[in-house]
Amino acid sequence: MNDKKKKKHWERSRQEFMEFTREQRQAIETGAEKALVVAGPGSGKTTVLTERLCTLLERGVPAEKILLLSFTRASSKEMEERFFRKMGIRAGRPRFSTIHALCFSLLREDLGYKKEDLVNLYEKMDWLSQYYLEKGILREEVQELLPGLIAQISYFKSIGERERIAYLQKEKQEDFLALYHFYEESRKKRGKLDFEDLLLEVLRILMEKGDLAKAWQSRFSHILVDEFQDLSLVQYEIIKSLAKSPNALFVVGDEDQSIYGFRGASPGILLSFTRDYPNCERIFLSDNFRSYREIVELSKRLIGKNKERFQKKLQGRQGSGGKAKYYALATGKEEAKLLVQHIEEAKEEGCPLEEVAILCRSRKQIPALLPLFMERGIPYSLTEEVQNVFQHFVGKDILAYLRLTINKESRGELLQILNKPYRGLLREKIQREESPFSDLKKAYRGRKEERALLLLEAQLQKMQELPVQERILFIRKDMGYEQYLESFAKKKNRDFEELQSLLEELTAMAEQTEGVEAFFRFVEKFNADCLQRQKEESGEGVRIMTYHGAKGLEFDEVFLPDCIEGIIPDGRAKTQEELEEERRSFYVALTRARKKIHIYVTKERYSKKVKPSRFIPELLGG
């Protein structure tokens, strides 16, 4: 870009610059060596970061000396694309990266690390499977647990020693600690690093190897950090070391949106910035350009209950016209029907389905919403992977029981549940493909096992008279399947509550269907849907996702089902710190809405009485 064109570009930029608020201009133009920008929802932080990059280039900072760190690859790519749309490829190329990618590149370029030195997902799963195999537990029995265990190991490696001790004491994780040591021994024996090790190794070098640390610190004169509230302590220490004076550090975040505690993030890290850099410039972007005033005021009342936060004057700049509606229903079935009805009404009123989002606290809430969408032909998009409960052994067992209520001579289904719970029946007694139940009756006639077999036959017959949801409850309670799972979990050192939650999920899905045949049609379509989503993501229709998945997004209308105790806040949240993170999660969900929020509460969930979330009165200023 020649000088004339460059000057013309910056003349256009100055015209745009006058349209920014005073606080935004302050952030874009600051000359402070260290600056903290606290950016509330909808305050234009991405635009501010992009303009900040442009300003640095205008001031003559070499592009290769500028580093912008984002929390995810997707956000890093988005920031890079926005920058080059504005400046053009000839403007130079600042470095856009995640912190993990940055650390790997430093180790690769200066110490010869290769991609093969990193642990991949399959290796992790193989090592953990080997750990359980040595305890007599087959891989198939722990398959669905492995992703959670891997995440648990990552979290444990990302927190400090004091936090580790507290975590182990609170969770009574002696079994986890043994698993963790096995994993670390397996990794070290093979000379491998995982993502957390990349960070720890870079931090060690920065702390211990002066010459290499100075070389790394000299690479970047200006470091900008997006989503600063999502950093772990280790990540923050790396950034502090890279940004040693005279390097400039410009961070943007919002402690009210710190919701990744399970990854080691904490709002305290953002709050400590002003203690670590007492002379830093602190700028608040408090104007929300996304949401109507009523939405901003509602969410502001909620987050104001948190103690660990900056006090800030959040205000809506879109004017009045927002609506927040609250619905109290008796059951989950009524809730789902009303929610779908409201979405259809929103569409009739002219709201594109792509501007509608259903946000759930947990992925486990999502499948129960889908039967009605499928039945009504409403397109939807799942932006996160949802566990297919029908591919889990618990789901397969329940489906087998249900199919046996239609045809008790179904051999595969009978073998699936033959001793779940234990009945003393042997698989080898089944001789014929077409009449397995008759074979068992013949084999056990006059023997003690005959009583269990006749009881099973009577139970299957009784279930034929029940609605599909009642059939599942009958299998769980009257037939003793839930008790069998509890015994299985104890024997195999599994989490019974996790298995029980799958039963609840199945029961909730059945509640939304009319009749067992309709339920099987739903299962077939759900399985096909899950398979299709593994191949491609259409992105069309209503967006259904978790609070965490929605972070950074915005929609005209947001629907929040299951706003009850045990869901939000999560029943496992006990401490003040945990409850504040739950409140922040709810705050993130609320602030995704531009125009309307729909909040749903039920009096009963999974056949149990429940109470509205404690956050509901807080929204009203209580």
- Which residues are part of a known binding site for ATP? 39-46
Strands (E) located in 75-139 = 95-98
**Which residue has tokens 């037939």?**
479
What are the start-end ranges of the E strands in 309-434?
315-316, 323-329, 356-360, 380-382
Task: For residue 560, give the amino acid letter.
Answer: L
| Residues placed in the known binding site | 39-46
Q: Which two tokens stand for residue 24?
A: 């935004």
Residue 120 is classified by DSSP as: P
Q: How far apart are CA 414 and CA 436, in angstroms?
A: 8
Specify burial of residue 249 (Cβ count, 10 A radius: 0-12, 13-18, 19+): buried
Collapsed DSSP state (helix, strand, coil) of residue 581: helix
Query: E-assigned strands of 173-271?
Result: 222-225, 248-253
Name the residue among 483, 538, 523 with its Cα closest to residue 396.
Answer: 523
Run of H or E residues at 268? helix 267-276
Nearest to 318 by CA among 341, 298, 295: 295
Q: Residue 189: enclosing H or E segment and its boundaries? A: helix 174-189
Strands 542-546 and 222-225: unpaired
What is the spatial distance between Cα 401 and Cα 407, in angstroms, rounded to a whole number?
Answer: 10
Residue 264: other Cβ atoms inside 10 A: 22
What one-character DSSP code corresponds to residue 541? S
Coil, strand or helix at 232: strand
Q: What angle do CA 156, 159, 165 make, to 5 degrees?
A: 75
Question: Given strand 356-360, what is the order of strands in its sheet?
Answer: 323-329, 593-602, 555-560, 356-360, 542-546, 380-382
**Tokens (6 digits) for 127:** 């090592």
Strand partners, 557: 356, 596
For Cα atoms 278, 57, 19, give the angle at the middle one, nearest 5 degrees: 80
How much helix, strand and coil, in percent to the nearest 5, is found in the chain?
60, 15, 30
